[in-house]
Structure 1
């Protein structure tokens, strides 16, 4: 049973033992990213993948909610099994107080941090200050990065597949050879950004969402400058 719960936590991108509030927030973030309505209707393969992912996310959320509801009941049954005069069992002082560790969350201020090769897959980085951060070859696929500050950050070779970068500040960021396929850059600021060699689609088909994106003076994947 514990192994199943651990698996459900990891489906939601959480460490085992995360609170029910963290479970609910992770669920909302992942549903936002994976909802089939966000996938172009003509791409049935990705639609089916999103539907399967959504099923596993729903199953994980429901199972963890049920487990959290059962915990107080289990504790009360344990206390009912002891007589009033019977003291509670003594704990070994060498044992840890809990088999779980609280989830580690990225700091809100990561400006100028060296994060080369970091794995932030499916993490919620929304609102973080990552100005000037070094994210060379970082894995940011499916990350939720709404309004993140990435001004002058180095994302060379980073994997931003299907990352949510709504209204993110990427002005003068380095995105050379980054994978931007499936990324949502709606409302983002890419002014002066270097996108040389970045993957943005297949053939002549653009697979990046650029609704309302600012591209003034950005160097495009083909080396031309956007005017």
Structure 2
């Protein structure tokens, strides 16, 4: 990912964003199958590298930030015969680790939550309540948002590439600048959602499945 040894988690995330922007298939001519395949391979390698680095960083931080167990100081007085042995301290409980990348967050309540710039790629957020949540610039590549409530959510420039948004509630959501390429929006409700500036469409919908979706103007996509 073109990173120096010892790069921080923030630097890993920024490098991932830069490389995804460079190698996004939408930037490659559709009729150039060789470059399209190369872009797909690059994205796969970038995702795998990012996951490995995130895993190593999380493990490193957990190891180096957990306090060492305190040891008892040896007693300077000798114990008499038959005297009970000193009681040993119980090992301190370790801090709970953060949820794994593939954690099941289905049905969770994140209404009005600030999730801007978070990486939710691949997470299961089906039927979660994200109404009014700030999801601007959030990475949600291949996220499962089936049946989720995203009404009035701010999805400005959110990456929803290949996301599952079937039957999702996107009423009055801000989708300006969002990338919904390859996403599944069958049966989704986009009534009143912001997708245009005047007559200009400002949402990427390359390969998006909109069958049966309610469009912002209330019409049903055929």
1:12-56 superposed Cα distances (whole Å, 9 cap, x missing partner):
xxxxxxx84623431223325776x9999xxxxxxxxxxxxxxxx
1:143 pairs with 2:138: yes
- Structure with bigger helix share is 1
> Are 1:207 and 2:194 counterparts?
no
Is 1:30 aligned with 2:17?
A: yes
Where in structure 2 are the equivalents of 1:1-227 lying within 5 Å? 20=7, 22-32=9-19, 108-227=103-222
Deviations 1:118-166 (A, max 9, x none): 1110111000000000000000000010000000000000000000000
Displacement over 3 Å in runs of 4+: 32-35, 37-40, 101-107
Provide the rounded CA distance (Å) in 2 between the counterparts of 1:26 and 1:224.
Answer: 38
Q: Which residue of 1 aligns with 2:81?
A: none
Q: Structure 1 unaligned runs (5+)?
A: 1-18, 41-100
Cα deviation 1:160-186 (Å, max 9, x = unaligned): 000000000000000000000000000
Q: Distance in 2 between matches of 1:104 and 1:179?
A: 30
Query: Is the Cα contact below 8 Å between 1:29 and 1:144 reproduced in 2?
Result: no
1:106/1:136 CA distance change after superposition, 3 Å: farther
Could you tell me the TM-score, scaled by structure 2's length? 0.60
Where relative contact order (Cα < 8 A, 6+ residues apart) is larger, the structure is 1
- Structure-2 residue corresponding to 1:60: none
RMSD: 2.8
Is the 1:197–1:221 Cα contact (8 Å) retained in structure 2?
yes
Q: How many residues align?
A: 148
Q: How far 1:201 sits from its partner (Å)? A: 1.2
What secondary structure, in the 3-state scheme, does the structure 2 residue paired with 1:189 have? coil
Give unmatched runs, 5+ long, in structure 2. 1-5, 28-94
